[in-house]
Structure 1
Amino acid sequence: MTEVEIPQFFACPISLQIMKDPVTTVTGITYDRESIEHWLLKAKDCRCPITKQPLPRNSEFLTPNHTLRRLIQAWCSANEANGVDKIPTPKSPLSNANVEKFVKDLEIPRRFQNAMMKLHNLAVENERNIRCMASAGVAEAMVHVITNRFRQDKTASCVEEALRILRLLWSSANVVEKNHMKSLVGQNCDFLNSLTWVLQLQSKNNVKVINEAMPILKLTIEAKDSTPLGSLRLEFFRVIVSVMKNRELSQQAIKSALHVLIETCPFGRNRTKIVEAGAVEELIELALEKPEKNLTELVFILLAHLCSCADGREQFLQHAAGIAVVSKRILRVSPTIDDRALHIFSLISKFQHLMKLCKRC
């Protein structure tokens, strides 16, 4: 391949690689579809890389250059003996109309399963599909599927697919789309209960479902205001602590569980409920396993929050390894951990001092 000179007009101006799916922008410049779509998605100032003229972000304004694609394919075939790979004819890009049809099919019971399968396959295929699905209202549809399963039949059918699609949409969304999704789940009171139900239902059966649900729960909690967060029930925290105990889960799922507890800790009586759910003991056990730095920092941040209440300090002192695991992390991991560890010891020492004064009285 290095001995074959690629014709200059076959190379994408962005990637400088031979174009597999050439498309022409409104400025008249041709790029490889993948390269220009990535540029349109990531660029702060959406302009043509060559002419510097403004470009619409919507990839529907990209026109396939069929003539150039055929020339490239013919050239690749002619040079196959020299090590040049053939370029297959690309599939037509997904359109909003295609996606909207599948979303409508979700409302028809006999078409529901097939529509969910199609949407799931499209979501895992490529990022271009995910962006199209986001603009066609798939996020709203997935939230509706999950909450309906919770409200109506209490079965987990298709919940894993819905969670995975929603997570992919959320992780690939731009700022505007993420704000829309936060508003979508933040204003839906049933969605938080639905996710709690999913975690409780799958706590011992399906690790994959929990791995999908926990990052979404984290984002949902971050989108909620303080009023509903202050009225969370003890059962909610027991479910999250049980997730922390499951060592078969991904690191992302466990980190999400810690984030959820940190976010909810300051509201109402949540700190006491988290302690009652057994979080202090589990945090110490988790720290004893010497996890990676980011996870350890989350453990110490939450532990410092919980030690600010009497029940939390008492449980910390009751654990045989509490003092030891905190002291051994000082000056060994990160400044954040040093700060939280010293704060924990400060709270414990004050607590011990007050206990001594009470005994004297």
Structure 2
Amino acid sequence: MEGVEVPAYFLCPISLQIMRDPVTLSTGITYDRDSIERWLFSGDHHTCPVTREPLLPDLELITPNHTLRRLIQSWCVANASSGVERFPTPRAPVDKSQIADLLRQAKSPESQVVPLRKLRAVVVKSDRSKRCVEALGGIDLLLSMVKKTISSLTLPQQEQEEICDEALAVLSSLQISEQQENIDDFIAILTAILARPNYYKSRVYAILLLKNLVSVMSPARLIATSAQLIAEVVNVLRGGVSWQATKAALHVLCQLCRHGRNRVKAVEAGAVPVVVELLLVLPERRVCEMVLVVLDHLCGCAEGRAELVGHAAGIAAVSKRILRVSHAASESAVRVLHSVATFSATPAVLHEMVQVGVVAKLCMVMQVDCGMKVKEKVLEILRLHSRVWRNSPCLAPQLKDIYPRS
């Protein structure tokens, strides 16, 4: 398209690209459908980007501008020799009535899987379809379906799994906030799904939904999280359902274990040995960072520290990640070791820290550029146990001068 001047009114005011599917708002301004729907729905805006006038929350007020689309297509054809691509005629988006019909069909106990699959195919196409499902009460309907399905005594096992898979897949595409009226029931349903090891896909969708929920839940609700739910999240990590599920479960634990009561629940569910084992399999950077954050939270309680030092590879696995993953990972790993060195430093633990190379790694941290917060924590550890480690061959001579002999 070099050397071809594009008419200004062919360009979307948001993307500044030629409009493939121009639509006009009630304010009279025309945008490309994909750009304006992303603005209105993904960003949760309620005004026209150009005029800043408020818009009514009605998807049907977005009107296709067929005249402008034909002009753009004709211009593309006329300039095809200059490398201009002709845009195909866009398909008409699914409207509210079609989505409402699919939701009504899904209510029928005779055939729920087929309309759910169609609904799933619809919601993945656009944010418009997702908002339609939400506006038509789809969240409550889908939750009710999952609840009835898992408690049914008559549905065949395979059909139960298929209904749960499709319903949870749709729910995982929608925006669900803590203001949802039945949020407690929602969490109970997710807990029940996670407790079913044979529901492979449903468990993945459930943990993804839980990840979205804990990100918007209030501290009071997070603190009140049941021990059963935390145990099921740990089981997702233990079972290795998928890397996607593992990342989501780690995110959930990171959020839940910020609060003291949940740390003990997670430790009792066996979280410490599970996340230590994850460190030993050389996970990708982001996973490693989240594992160390979880360990940092868990070592904020005595039970968590006891589990870590009692694990044959616990201290060594944490130390090994310092200076080898990222600055964030090093900071979390040093905080874990600081908690152990401050509150659980028995002679056996201090001896192990020398034997597995922790002291050597801490001395290395003092000699590289890794941030002042990390170095301050390391210096506290070294000063706290300088008398025990003074004669260690791994303690650099220049660092021994920091600790005068008494």
Q: Note whether the superposition's TM-score is higher than 0.5.
A: yes
CA distance in 2, matches of 1:237, 1:48: 43
CA distance in 2, matches of 1:266, 1:39: 33
The equivalences for 1:56-67 within 5 A come to: 56=56, 58-67=58-67
Deviates more, 1:303-312 or 1:26-35: 303-312
One-letter amino acid matched to 2:187: L
CA distance in 2, matches of 1:43, 1:216: 20
The alignment partner of 1:31 has SS state of strand
**Residues 32 and 104 of structure 1: CA distance in aligned 2, closer, same or farther (over 3 Å):** same
**Residues 77 and 157 of structure 1: CA distance in aligned 2, closer, same or farther (over 3 Å):** same
Match of 1:31 in 2: 31
Match of 1:239 in 2: 232
**Within the alignment, does 1:163 sit opposite 2:168 as a pair?**
yes
Alpha-carbon deviations, 1:28-83, whole Å to 9, x = none? 2322222223333437672342x454444544222222222222233334444554
Maintained 8 Å contact 2:23/2:63: yes
Match of 1:192 in 2: 187
Deviates more, 1:9-18 or 1:269-278: 269-278
Match of 2:367 in 1: none
Alpha-carbon deviations, 1:170-204, whole Å to 9, x = none? 3xxxxxxx4xx32337x344433332332232x36
CA distance in 2, matches of 1:16, 1:295: 37
One-letter amino acid matched to 1:275: V
One-letter amino acid matched to 2:121: N
> Where does structure 1 lack aligned partners over 5 or more consecutive residues?
171-177, 354-361
CA distance in 1, matches of 2:288, 2:204: 19
**Within the alignment, does 1:278 sit opposite 2:270 as a pair?**
yes
Match of 1:121 in 2: 121
RMSD over equivalenced CA pairs, Å = 3.4
Match of 2:88 in 1: 88
**Residues 296 and 110 of structure 1: CA distance in aligned 2, closer, same or farther (over 3 Å):** same
Match of 1:46 in 2: 47
CA distance in 2, matches of 1:40, 1:305: 38
**Residues 315 and 43 of structure 1: CA distance in aligned 2, closer, same or farther (over 3 Å):** closer
CA distance in 2, matches of 1:164, 1:75: 41
Higher relative contact order (CA 8 A, sep 6+): 1
**Within the alignment, does 1:254 sit opposite 2:246 as a pair?**
yes
Identity of aligned residues (%): 37
**Residues 318 and 158 of structure 1: CA distance in aligned 2, closer, same or farther (over 3 Å):** same
Match of 1:149 in 2: 149
Q: State the TM-score, normalized to the length of structure 1.
A: 0.78
**Residues 298 and 20 of structure 1: CA distance in aligned 2, closer, same or farther (over 3 Å):** closer
- C-alpha displacement of 1:216: 1.0
**Within the alignment, does 1:315 sit opposite 2:320 as a pair?**
no
CA distance in 2, matches of 1:241, 1:13: 47
The alignment partner of 2:233 has SS state of helix
CA distance in 2, matches of 1:313, 1:7: 66
Which of 338, 344, 357 is the aligned partner of 1:348? 344
The alignment partner of 1:240 has SS state of helix
Match of 1:357 in 2: none
The alignment partner of 1:338 has SS state of helix
**Residues 299 and 9 of structure 1: CA distance in aligned 2, closer, same or farther (over 3 Å):** closer
One-letter amino acid matched to 1:74: S
CA distance in 2, matches of 1:183, 1:228: 14
The equivalences for 1:293-312 within 5 A come to: 293-312=285-304
Q: State the TM-score, normalized to the length of structure 2.
A: 0.71
CA distance in 2, matches of 1:152, 1:33: 42
> Where does structure 2 lack aligned partners over 5 or more consecutive residues?
350-406
- C-alpha displacement of 1:3: 4.7
One-letter amino acid matched to 2:295: L
Alpha-carbon deviations, 1:265-314, whole Å to 9, x = none? 57797544433332211121112234344433432333244345554333
One-letter amino acid matched to 1:339: R
Alpha-carbon deviations, 1:152-171, whole Å to 9, x = none? 2472122122122111113x
